[in-house]
Structure 1
Amino acid sequence: MNAWSDLTGQTEAVDVLRSAASASSSSMTHAWLITGPPGSGRSNMAFAFAAALLSGSPDGDDQTLAQVESRTHPDLSILSTENVTYTIREVREFATTSYYSPSVGSYRVMVIEDADRMTERTSNVLLKALEEPPERTVWILCAPSDADMLPTIRSRVRTLRLRLPDVDDVAELLQSQLGVDATTAERAARLAQSHIGMAKRLATDGDALSRREQTLRTALSMRSVTDAVMAAAGMLEIAGDDAKAFTSERDEAERESVMRSLGLEPGQTIPPALRSQIKSLEEDQKRRATRSLRDGIDRILVDLLSMYRDITMIQLGRAHAIINREFADDLRRKAEATDAARTLQTMDAIRQARRRIAGNVAPALALEAALVTAIR
């Protein structure tokens, strides 16, 4: 096993980074931007590259791999967020650590996950660190595309674009990593549209798979504006349930951990002097819940896009290329009831809903508008 073993469908990108990590490489640069669609493995690629750099070997070594995997390597700094955006304070404090000298290796590696979640003001804080980098510091930024970053930052990084892996590649990964059977792996990879993280969840979480199926059934059953409004409310509830399932257990564990660190027993009344620390935790968890809900709504919209894509494929005579094969009969009936032009209009409306929600439009309004378009 080496640093690149768990990466799938990214041979070209691995070759570039493996070469850059070589001690004799002339292609090494102080700042990288790894881009790719959701689920392409941007973060996994970043940490594999970090392991290679920190070990001094293009393939990494067992000790360094273990330290990077557990996020305990002394020369590795990571900035990630479960909130909607990074704060200026977070980025400023993180950038300060980039000036520390490596303690055990040749590099200090700075990884920023979801770098697109920085506002312009926050990005300018990062820009200052990229403009005057220490000689032995390497920055690795991750974002869906280079267009998500300021032009001034793009000009100071080397961009490496990942592609979405094939369904077969993701299915093989699920079988090897999770031990699921071939049928389950193929179905999860196909329904997730090769999004590795979502495929893993669908392969192991029956409730997540059921919620996805419920979303599609609801959309397929719409016949009127009233149905569309009710469907939007139901999908928001599904997204909320999904977000709670994803965060509630973690929230409780975090609260118990903080309570113990403060010397308090579960259920004990919190003294006034300690309430600010609990309140800070609750605010962080609330921001994380907001992001999780938004991510859940966006995933529902992506699933709806896959369904209307399938309908379009059937209308264009390419039924063999559909994603949601389990709904083939329902999709065929829906395709016969309309035409490709109208289905494409619906897909445009769903894409517009994604943009609106990303721009802080009320999710209920954006989703209702998209679903009303679907039944007109």
Structure 2
Amino acid sequence: MTIWDSLVGQRACIEQLQIAAGGQGMNHAWLFTGPPGSGRSNTAVAFAAALQCEQGGLGPDCPDGCHDCHTVLAGSHADVAVIRTEKLTIGVKEVRDLVRRASLTPMGKRWQILVVEDADRLTEQACNALLKAIEEPNPRTVWMLCTPTVEDVLPTIRSRCRLVALSTPTAEEVATFLQTLGCEEQRARYAARASQGHIGRAKALAFDDAVRSRRQDVVAIPARLTTLGQCLASATRLGEVAKEEADAITAELDAREKVDLDAAYGVVERGRRPREYAPALRDLETAQKTRAKRRQLDVVDRGLIDLVSVYRDAIALASGAPGDLVNEDIRHDVERIAALSTPELNLQRIGWIFAAREQMLEFNVPVPLALESMMVALRVPERH
């Protein structure tokens, strides 16, 4: 299986990029857009491999699997940088470092490529610094920006980029892909529906029992929201689970970074802390706290999307829409919510969930407060 094969449901985009890699329609800046999990950054990396390929732009499909293809996909190619952030934003300092790199002549014969994941997290100053580099590009430099929508970057930036619009793959396409990875058919179909087209999420649901169990706990929440006490308890539990999962992800990395810092400043060998150590430790702890906050928000955000899927199913059921439910495995709960509500009310509930999401992600409202307010609004009256 090549990396092109892992880009599920993106055949039109792949053909467009393969033609460009072959020398037709090449551009110095590209904007990859698509919903979460559609494979924006994977597509950009595959394109980078194709551009660097020794076999004339065939990328991961080249007959011999050339050195350049292997190193791009492994993340070790000297002329390809993939920029990821664990922070809430990408600042101007990081972008200026990229701009300096973009001005360098490639070490190899082909391109200097910079892939910016989550370009929607660029601050205003960072966008302005990036715009200057894209306006006056180095002849052998290629920028690849990845965002959910075209509106997530400045109009002046997107007007200089060639657009690659990825789509959400169908449940059938995702299920088929999971089966090629060795997943049993019934579980693959469940994961494909529950992930709603998010490939990374689908793989986690297919192969990780803990992830599947946590999702089942979340989608069971709407049917339980019948009293004020249950609303508050559900909000607390969702926040706690998100924090526990985020801590589990970051704890090992935090510890490893602390060990590396101590070694770099000779704390372990010399048994004392040089004067420069304290500010370095403070900066590290600040970065780790920011990363932990983002991780927690990411986990909560995923839970909110799962909640939305339940109310979306209730609307589909009440309106007689064709097709399987996203949450077919809890159809009884969905039927009960649909019976006790109206499609209009469930549409309002989806709006309240997205409002809570915006409060946490955009306005820095404390997670417990936003979740409690949301759960109370979602309350379902008991049938009398």
Instruction: Provide the residue aligned with 1:358 in structure 2.
Output: 361
Structure 1 residue 278, shift from structure 2 partner: 3.3
Instruction: Provide the residue aligned with 1:135 in structure 2.
Output: 139
Structure 2 vs 1, CA of residues 14 and 300 (structure 1 numbering), >3 Å: closer, same or farther?
same
Deviation readout 1:47-85 (Å, 9 max, x if unpaired): 000001111533214222220122111111222101100
Q: Is the contact made by 1:116 and 1:144 (CA closer than 8 Å) also made in structure 2?
A: yes
In 2: Cα distance, 1:2 partner to 1:203 partner: 21
Instruction: Provide the residue aligned with 2:47 in structure 1.
Output: 49
Letter in 2 for 1:271: R
Structure 2 vs 1, CA of residues 311 and 39 (structure 1 numbering), >3 Å: closer, same or farther?
same
Q: Are 1:290 and 2:293 an aligned pair?
A: yes
Q: Secondary structure at the match of 1:321?
A: coil
Instruction: Provide the residue aligned with 2:38 in structure 1.
Output: 40
1:325 to 318, 328, 337: 328
Instruction: Provide the residue aligned with 2:160 in structure 1.
Output: 156
Instruction: Provide the residue aligned with 2:58 in structure 1.
Output: 59
How many residue pairs were aligned? 372
TM-score w.r.t. the length of structure 1 is 0.93
Structure 2 vs 1, CA of residues 89 and 350 (structure 1 numbering), >3 Å: closer, same or farther?
same
Q: Is the contact made by 2:219 and 2:307 (CA closer than 8 Å) also made in structure 1?
A: yes
Q: Secondary structure at the match of 2:220?
A: helix
What RMSD in Å do the two structures reach over aligned CA positions?
2.1
Structure 1 residue 262, shift from structure 2 partner: 4.5
Structure 1 residue 203, shift from structure 2 partner: 2.0
Structure 1 residue 263, shift from structure 2 partner: 4.8
Q: Are 1:170 and 2:174 an aligned pair?
A: yes
In 1: Cα distance, 2:297 partner to 2:26 partner: 37
**Mapping of residues 220-235 of structure 1, within 5 Å:** 220-235=223-238
In 1: Cα distance, 2:251 partner to 2:206 partner: 21
Instruction: Provide the residue aligned with 1:93 in structure 2.
Output: 97
Letter in 1 for 2:246: A
Instruction: Provide the residue aligned with 1:12 in structure 2.
Output: 12
Q: Is the contact made by 2:34 and 2:166 (CA closer than 8 Å) also made in structure 1?
A: yes
In 1: Cα distance, 2:337 partner to 2:2 partner: 48
Deviation readout 1:317-370 (Å, 9 max, x if unpaired): 247521111111122122212221211111111122222222122323332232
Structure 1 residue 173, shift from structure 2 partner: 2.4
Letter in 1 for 2:152: D
In 1: Cα distance, 2:199 partner to 2:317 partner: 26
In 2: Cα distance, 1:154 partner to 1:320 partner: 36
Q: Secondary structure at the match of 1:73?
A: coil
**Mapping of residues 1-376 of structure 1, within 5 Å:** 2-23=2-23, 25=24, 27-56=25-54, 57-60=56-59, 61=62, 62=65, 63-177=67-181, 179-263=182-266, 271-273=273-275, 274-318=277-321, 320-359=323-362, 360-375=364-379
In 2: Cα distance, 1:3 partner to 1:197 partner: 14
Letter in 1 for 2:22: S
Deviation readout 1:30-49 (Å, 9 max, x if unpaired): 00000000000000000000
Deviation readout 1:96-117 (Å, 9 max, x if unpaired): 1001111113111111000000
Q: Is the contact made by 1:84 and 1:117 (CA closer than 8 Å) also made in structure 2?
A: yes
Q: Is the contact made by 1:78 and 1:110 (CA closer than 8 Å) also made in structure 2?
A: yes
Structure 2 vs 1, CA of residues 2 and 199 (structure 1 numbering), >3 Å: closer, same or farther?
closer
Letter in 2 for 1:229: L
Q: Is the contact made by 2:91 and 2:125 (CA closer than 8 Å) also made in structure 1?
A: no
Gaps of 5+ in 1: none
Structure 1 residue 153, shift from structure 2 partner: 0.7
In 2: Cα distance, 1:2 partner to 1:239 partner: 34
Q: Secondary structure at the match of 2:145?
A: strand
Q: Secondary structure at the match of 1:375?
A: coil
Structure 1 residue 125, shift from structure 2 partner: 0.8
In 2: Cα distance, 1:279 partner to 1:324 partner: 45
Q: Is the contact made by 2:34 and 2:40 (CA closer than 8 Å) also made in structure 1?
A: yes
